[in-house]
């Protein structure tokens, strides 16, 4: 017992010291970001106070408007290829300087960002809401919390996972040290979607900058207004730590802007549709740069018969309806055991009937507008196809007072039953507030149904038996699985995020995502240099001795033989050959002489 007392005292003292350090205010500088042109104070000029009718054709400008009200927000240039390449050139110059920065400087940059985000949550969520139509609560959940968690993880563990990692050197190289080094790639390019304009910019940016890269981010034409404001926050924080200009750039435009970015950078991260993802891969093949693709999903939400039905129904509704269906990891296919099917549908119907869509900033609506113009028409097409094939709508939420001329930007939350896999609604990504619910009878059946999809991003499995839920989840072919929960994976930023099949490949977030921004280099060096070095044994030195192969054969047995006696016998032969040192074979020419 006396032996343990000092250890206990040391542990208590350490815990007390750590607590005291937490109580000391962190000396993090504040930054001042200009918000004068993004705050909706009711005093807009004539140029940005009218209702905007989006053009169907691309121009040299990216026009921005609020999907919830159609109020005009302004425009940004659609950059041409030469302009994109010039931005990348400037980012490359900045990266060469930043690559020499210390982790202390990089952590300060993260702390400044974290402080600003926490102190300006209302501003950030307001801008995200205005540009994409999501509610303030959904913006907080998907934009603020996930970004803060990523920053916290990088501050806690980022440096640890970027330091050289030592590996075993094997039996034949016992005198060596083997390690993996992680150095910056250079300029990372990212083409991101509109659904989470704040987090989709910060997510790749944080990993790229913390690992010593620069980054150029092409934001969606549907969320350029917010993206360009969020760049101000980043650049102001970078300036506060003395980082070079142009280390982080946000560019705006359409397809040719993205194509030019792919052809100019050292790695590309793409978040979007499978069709565009394939085009990205083709373009990236010209320069053979690494590619990470996150291409959406058709996530299965599985409910076994032994669950707390009201609890799981509430989670299911959140999974399907979050951000008016703007959650790319959202639940899109619901499989419910036949024994609780009726009660689950009844609970979901009750929830959905209480949900109202409307202008999100009014504060009284559960869901906002659909971001993309005409997307509600596609959602109705998927619903109509299901109805034509025998499905039935059992509940729809309501649409509030949204104002004249903007009706097509909203889609009421919808519950559909009697669905099957012949319907497009169960096969194609909807990206909308629709809950198609299908029965299953056994675990084997639901595994087969869930895997019957071209997508493979995520899944959620609910059962009163955690072991059972885990077993089902382990059989699903996807990249992200939540057991008795939904979307909790993304709040664990130590975990990689990504999918398989048409959901893409590669990972961002977590250790894998951080290291994916690095050149991974294997390094071997002498352990006791210069006293012990690799020396080529005499039998295999040039010119090779006649018993050179015999020596190699015995050496392999010595190092890798399956039992100790074979290895000892081989070692004796190795030593014997080394001691004999026969002369090198004479050439045929000398013999002929």
The whole-model pTM stands at 0.90
Say if residue 408's pLDDT is above 70.
Answer: no
Q: What's the confidence (pLDDT) of residue 368?
A: 85
Least confident of 163-167, 407-411, 480-484: 407-411
What fold characterizes domain 297-453+457-494? Answer: Aldehyde Dehydrogenase; Chain A, domain 2 (3.40.309)
Say if residue 3's pLDDT is above 80.
Answer: no
355-404 pLDDT, tens per residue?
888 888 877 788 888 888 788 889 999 999 999 999 999 999 888 766 55
SS3 of residue 468 by DSSP: helix
Strands (E), 489-568: 500-501, 504-505, 518-526
Q: Stretch 564-569: mean pLDDT, rounded?
A: 93
Name the percent of the chain lying above pLDDT 90. 73
Q: What's the confidence (pLDDT) of residue 301?
A: 97
Q: What's the confidence (pLDDT) of residue 325?
A: 45
Highest mean pLDDT among 96-110, 128-142, 324-338: 96-110
How would you label 201-236 residue by residue, b for 16+ Cβ within 10 Å and e otherwise? bbbbbbbbbbbbbbbbbbbbbbbbbbbbbbbebbbb
Q: Stretch 424-446: mean pLDDT, rounded?
A: 96
Active-site amino acid positions: 294
Q: Do domains 24-31+56-294+511-520 and 297-453+457-494 have the same CATH topology?
A: no
Nearest CA-CA partner of 322 in 363, 355, 275, 288 = 355
Superfamily of structural domain 24-31+56-294+511-520: Aldehyde Dehydrogenase; Chain A, domain 1 (3.40.605.10)
51-71 pLDDT, tens per residue?
666 666 667 899 999 988 888
SS3 of residue 334 by DSSP: strand
Diameter over CA atoms, the chain: 106
Query: Hey, where are the domains in the chain?
Result: 24-31+56-294+511-520, 297-453+457-494, 534-577
Say if residue 24's pLDDT is above 70.
Answer: no
Q: What's the confidence (pLDDT) of residue 417?
A: 98
SS3 of residue 381 by DSSP: helix
d(CA 293, CA 295): 6
Cis check: omega of the bond before 530, within 30 degrees of 0: yes
- Mean pLDDT in the chain? 90
Nearest CA-CA partner of 505 in 293, 298, 328 = 293
Q: Stretch 489-510: mean pLDDT, rounded?
A: 94
Tokens of 483: 């057991």
Is-contact 502 428, C-beta < 8 A? no
Say if residue 582's pLDDT is above 90.
Answer: no
Phi, psi at residue 198, to the nearest 5°?
-75, -55
Q: Stretch 243-261: mean pLDDT, rounded?
A: 97
Say if residue 406's pLDDT is above 80.
Answer: no
d(CA 66, CA 128): 10
Nearest CA-CA partner of 315 in 85, 447, 307 = 307
Q: What's the confidence (pLDDT) of residue 409?
A: 80
> In this structure, is the dihedral angle defined by the CA atoms of residues 215, 218, 222 and 227, taken in order, positive or negative?
positive
Q: Stretch 23-35: mean pLDDT, rounded?
A: 84
Is-contact 464 490, C-beta < 8 A? no
For residue 577, name the pLDDT band (cuts at 50, 70, 90): very high
Is-contact 347 334, C-beta < 8 A? no
């Amino acid at each position: 017992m006396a032996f343990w007392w000092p250890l206990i005292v040391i542990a208590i003292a350490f815990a007390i010291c750590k607590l005291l350090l937490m109580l000391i205010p962190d000396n993090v500088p504040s930054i001042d970001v200009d918000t004068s042109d993004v705050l909706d104070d009711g005093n807009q000029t004539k140029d940005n106070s009218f209702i905007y009718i989006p053009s169907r054709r691309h121009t040299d400008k990216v026009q921005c408007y609020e999907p919830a009200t159609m109020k005009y927000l302004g425009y940004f240039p659609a950059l041409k290829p030469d302009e994109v390449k010039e931005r990348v050139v400037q980012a490359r110059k900045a990266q060469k300087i930043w690559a020499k920065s210390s982790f202390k400087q990089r952590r300060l940059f993260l702390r400044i960002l974290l402080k600003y985000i926490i102190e300006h949550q209302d501003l950030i969520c307001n801008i995200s809401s205005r540009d994409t139509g999501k509610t303030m609560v959904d913006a907080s959940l998907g934009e603020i919390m996930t970004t803060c968690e990523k920053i916290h993880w990088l501050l806690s563990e980022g440096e640890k996972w970027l330091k050289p990692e030592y590996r075993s050197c094997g039996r034949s190289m016992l005198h060596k040290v083997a390690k993996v080094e992680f150095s910056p790639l250079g300029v990372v390019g990212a083409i991101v979607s509109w659904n989470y304009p704040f987090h989709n910019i910060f997510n790749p940016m944080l990993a790229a900058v913390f690992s010593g890269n620069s980054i150029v981010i092409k934001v969606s034409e549907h969320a350029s207004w917010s993206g360009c404001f969020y760049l101000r926050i980043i650049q102001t924080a970078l300036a506060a730590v003395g980082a070079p200009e142009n280390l982080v750039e946000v560019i705006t435009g359409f397809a040719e802007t993205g194509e030019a970015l792919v052809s100019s950078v050292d790695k590309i991260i793409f978040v979007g549709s499978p069709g565009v993802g394939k085009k990205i891969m083709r373009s990236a093949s010209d320069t053979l740069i690494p590619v990470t693709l996150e291409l959406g999903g058709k996530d299965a939400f599985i409910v076994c018969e032994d669950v707390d039905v009201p609890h799981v129904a509430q989670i299911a509704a959140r999974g399907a309806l979050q951000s008016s269906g703007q959650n790319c990891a959202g639940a899109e296919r619901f499989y419910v055991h036949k024994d609780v099917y009726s009660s689950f549908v009844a609970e979901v119907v009750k929830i959905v009937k209480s949900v109202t869509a409307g202008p999100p900033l009014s504060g009284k609506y559960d869901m906002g507008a659909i971001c993309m113009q005409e997307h509600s028409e596609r959602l109705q097409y998927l619903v109509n196809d299901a109805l034509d094939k025998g499905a039935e709508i059992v509940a729809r939420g309501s649409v509030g007072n949204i104002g004249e001329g903007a009706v097509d930007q909203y889609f009421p939350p919808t519950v559909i039953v009697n669905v099957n896999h012949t319907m497009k609604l169960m096969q194609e990504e909807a990206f909308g507030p629709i809950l198609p619910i299908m029965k299953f009878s056994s675990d084997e059946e639901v595994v087969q149904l869930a895997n019957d999809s071209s997508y493979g991003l995520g899944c959620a499995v609910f059962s009163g038996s955690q072991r059972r839920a885990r077993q089902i989840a382990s059989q699903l072919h996807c990249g992200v699985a939540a057991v008795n929960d939904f979307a909790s994976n993304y709040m664990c930023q130590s975990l990689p995020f990504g999918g398989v099949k048409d959901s893409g490949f590669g990972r961002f977030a977590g250790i894998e995502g951080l290291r994916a921004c690095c050149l991974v280099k294997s390094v071997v060096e002498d352990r006791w240099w210069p006293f012990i070095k690799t020396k080529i044994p005499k039998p295999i030195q040039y010119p090779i001795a006649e018993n050179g192969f015999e020596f190699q054969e015995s050496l392999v047995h010595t190092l890798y033989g399956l039992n100790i006696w074979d290895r000892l016998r081989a070692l004796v032969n190795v030593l014997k050959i080394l001691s004999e040192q026969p002369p090198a074979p004479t050439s045929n020419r000398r013999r002929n002489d």
